[in-house]
Amino acid sequence: MEGKKFRLPQNAWFGDAEVEITLPAEWQVELAHIPADALPPLREVEIAGRLLNPTASPPLSQLAGGRRKAVIIFDDLSRPTMVDAVAPLVIEELLKGGMREENISFVAALGAHGAHTLLDFTKKLGEQIVGRFPVYNHNPYEHCSYVGQTSSGIPIYINNEVLSADLKIGIGSILPHAFNGFGGGGKIVFPGVAGMESIYQNHRKVIADLKARKVGFAGNMGDMENSRMKEDIEEVVRMIDFNFKIDLLPNSKRQAVEMVAGDPVFAHRKGVKMGAKLYLTDFHGGADIVIANANAKANEALIALLQGAASLKESGGDLVLIVDCPAGQVVHYLLGQSGAESGGKLWSGDASFPPHIQRGILFTPNSGQRFGLFRRLIECHRWQDVLELLQEKYSAGARVVVYKDGTMQYFRR
């Protein structure tokens, strides 16, 4: 009997392909779809139209009038945003408004992530932008200035290159976020271009709340109501006069199917309402096996593991994590591991590994993904090897849930 075949998106930033997996025909398999995949990708004229008709803000060409310097902040490779689809249009609007080309720069919003290379910048921005304009890595340890304190008491330090501009623009995406409910909006400046002390205080507060509520490290996915970041972010947006934000809403192939632009607070609220529909997935519980694909945020594949684990039956089961990320997992100076028994200030060791995962299986063609929680996984380089492990344990009638991309899906039980 022919098996059940599924094609899942893979290779974000490294060719954008698909991986095919086959499961036994006698198994009960449910595929958790992504609503965003039902929409056609935006055409260039549609992207331009949204840029020229912003939410609660004048168009960029008007904002540029009389300004001295513009900085364009963009998200890093841990996000699927095709920044090159919109950055040239932003430049065109700035020049139309009278901004001088030599007074425009780009800053990668790395937050507490590791630095990017020219190859990374080119993937995000395209060769033309990288060749014309200076592009800088954000350094959270140096060259950040104090701008004030939020109402919750977090001291805010922001990148000096960003602060030096009197026109601050951001390009990113809105997707479910493990800490904040949804990413995008002002998150690109806080924590995106904030100093390490600011990021630490912010993340520590959120993690403490997640632990207190016993919802796990991905407990806020798609849940803005329980975000402990939202108010701080919106305060920082006004504190530093962050002027204009563009957020794409991508499908599982990273193609934008929606977009918002304009005031960083109000455009984000509009985009979150879209994202709440585009990424909401029906919850499938009680599974013997969960297959969690990671692509949009492949270098933060832990998100897919934590999300997928919620669908296992209470007595436990097996989770297969699919990751094809040639660059490996993202460097995170706060949450990441830096030695056999050491890590950043907020590194949790194995504490966040869901206890009801009886076996974790990592399916990847790229060795070297196994650090941190990945050392708890059985690594396989062929799907046939994964299938043999599963068939040793499960027979006809096994219940399986497949998440098309567990890094961009969320569900309500």
Q: Give residue 348's pLDDT.
A: 87
Q: Give residue 252's pLDDT.
A: 97
Q: How many angstroms separate the Cα of 307 from the Cα of each of 34, 78, 154, 352, 356?
A: 14, 17, 29, 12, 13
Q: How many angstroms separate the Cα of 165 from the Cα of each of 8, 100, 170, 263?
A: 42, 13, 12, 17
| Domain 44-278 grouped into CATH 3.40.50.11440 | yes
* Local confidence band at 17 (pLDDT 50, 70, 90 cut-offs): very high
Number of H helices, E strands in the chain: 11, 22
- Pairwise CA distance, residues 166 & 324, whole Å: 40
> pLDDT per residue over 232-242, tens digit each?
999 999 999 99
- Pairwise CA distance, residues 280 & 19, whole Å: 23
> pLDDT per residue over 283-319, tens digit each?
999 999 999 999 999 999 999 999 999 999 999 999 9
Average pLDDT, integer, range 196-218: 94
pTM: 0.96
> pLDDT per residue over 92-137, tens digit each?
999 999 999 999 999 999 999 999 999 999 999 999 999 999 999 9
- Pairwise CA distance, residues 232 & 244, whole Å: 18
> pLDDT per residue over 120-130, tens digit each?
999 999 999 99
Average pLDDT, integer, range 140-152: 97
- Pairwise CA distance, residues 245 & 183, whole Å: 12
Tell me the average pLDDT of the chain. Answer: 95
CATH architecture of 4-34+282-412: Alpha-Beta Complex (3.90)
> pLDDT per residue over 260-280, tens digit each?
999 999 999 999 999 999 999
Helix or strand run (H / E) with residue 386: helix 383-393
Q: Which of 214, 211, 227 is nearest to 177 (CA)?
A: 227
| Cα 139 → chain centroid | 19
- Pairwise CA distance, residues 329 & 4, whole Å: 30
Average pLDDT, integer, range 376-386: 94
Q: Which residues of 27-59 are buried (b: 16+ CB within 10 A; e: fewer)?
A: bebeebebebeeeebbeeeebeebbeebbebeb
Average pLDDT, integer, range 63-70: 97
Q: Do 44-278 and 4-34+282-412 have the same topology in CATH? A: no
Q: Where are the domains of the chain?
A: 4-34+282-412, 44-278
